[in-house]
Amino acid sequence: MDYCFDIDGTICSNTNGEYQKAIPRQFMIDKVNRLYDSGHRISFFTARGSTSGIDWNEFTEAQLKGWGVKFHKLILGKPHADIYIDDKSIHPVDWVENRDMPQEVILDRQDNE
């Protein structure tokens, strides 16, 4: 299954554009890494730089790797995915607690935990 995660406000604190100050949410990173290790495709998308025009790609990739996040792709923009896990779509807390999730995702997650 393809999973697509937001970064700010999802796997780390929301810093209102001060990305160097982001604090990783280890419990979210652990869940992402379990999905990766189970063979799921993990992508991250972010709006970093969309209003400032600053290219945050290299910084963000290094930041994710520094936090120990396992992923296949980092994309600036909204990619296609089977599931969007985002603070504007399925809220990260709902995802962690299986609230408001499609049944096939809950079953898939239970098989991989």
The domain locations on the chain are 2-111
- Distance separating the N- and C-terminal Cα atoms of the chain: 15
CA angle 27-32-38, nearest 5°?
Answer: 125
Q: What is the pLDDT of residue 79?
A: 47
Query: Which two structure tokens, joined as six digits, stand for 93?
Result: 């807390």
Per cent of the chain over pLDDT 90 is: 45
Q: At residue 30, does pLDDT exceed 60?
A: yes
Give the model's pLDDT for residue 1: 85
CATH assignment of 2-111? Answer: 3.40.50.1000
Give me the residues paired with residue 42 across strands.
Answer: 3
